[in-house]
Amino acid sequence: NRKRLSAFETTDEVLNSYYDTLIKFKPRYLYGYVSVIELFVQYLKKHNLKLPESVTSIITTSEVLTDSIREFVESYTKLKVFNEYGCGEVGSIAHECSHGNMHLMSDNLIVEILDDKGQASNIGEIVVTDLFNYAMPLIRYKLSDYAELQSGRCSCGVSLPMVKKIFGRAYDMIIKSDGSKAHPELLMYVFEDLKEKVKGVEQFQLVQDAKDHFTINLVLSSDAEDMSVYQDMLVKRIDQELKHAYQYTFNKVDEIQREKSGKIRLIKSCLDQT
């Protein structure tokens, strides 16, 4: 009862074939990487296409769902977007409910949040134990992701515990000039703010390839501003947020390259994280 479509090819021709499949199959919901869902909805908007009435919701997974992407997808499709957090080894770990809270799948998993000393904490690394994988038991499996728990009970009626925020993977942390680490979400806000203030930015990626150097890749629309406009704004904001003057290389690209997994890492570090 599921149709799988590749995230590795996203040309207009391929997206058109995906749309044809969608119309024929009439799914109840769409489920996929954030970047591919966004790209597909951009294609629908570009060609003035609508989803079939059978689709009642959209579920995003694997990548960061920003407020602007959620707003864009919901605005055009008129459907609610539900965010999911999981991994291939254990499946869904947390899922957004109709009230906007992320509930942990504690009926299938034991989910622990541990601090740097391995002690239980409200904020820390996510460690999971799968209760139903008898073929290959995963016990206290470290995901290298971080989360913050949320207290209280959700008014949606689901009694499963909640997670307030899920942070990026450890290898995507930014190494600051003094050796300390900055969470990549700090820079996500910089790019999201840029997209709101200046037209033309369709996709972005920041790569830290040296301690004092960032490579910034931008996918720009046909009505974009001159590259210098984005350079000036980004350099000023990033240096301000990280409290250091960095060196930059800016590239205008046709697309952001995906990892072998098919995911896009918007904030990527090439530095040793130990």
Computed over every residue of the chain, the mean pLDDT equals 89
2-29 pLDDT, tens digit per residue, is 999 987 777 889 999 999 999 999 999 9
The pair of structure tokens assigned to 194 is 């840029």
172-213 pLDDT, tens digit per residue, is 678 888 877 776 777 888 988 888 888 899 889 999 999 899
63-108 pLDDT, tens digit per residue, is 878 888 899 999 999 999 999 998 888 989 999 999 999 999 999 9
Interior angle at CA 183, CA 86 and CA 98, nearest 5: 40
Q: What is the pTM of this model?
A: 0.69
Band the pLDDT of 170: cuts 50, 70, 90.
very low
Residue 159 has pLDDT above 50, yes or no: yes
Give the pLDDT score at 261: 62
Residue bearing tokens 């990626």: 205
41-75 pLDDT, tens digit per residue, is 999 999 999 999 999 999 998 887 888 889 999 99
Q: What percent of the chain has pLDDT over 90?
A: 55
Q: What is the Cα–Cα distance from 236 to 109, expressed in whole angstroms? A: 44
Q: Hey, which of 43-47, 67-71, 143-147, 260-264 has the most confident mean pLDDT?
A: 43-47
Give the pLDDT score at 171: 46
Q: What residue type is 186 in one-letter code?
A: L
Residues 6+ away with beta carbon under 8 Å from 255:
10, 203, 219
Give the pLDDT score at 180: 73
Q: What is the Cα–Cα distance from 233 to 231, expressed in whole angstroms? A: 6
Give the pLDDT score at 183: 66
Q: Rounded mean pLDDT of 266-270?
A: 85
The pair of structure tokens assigned to 118 is 């391995």
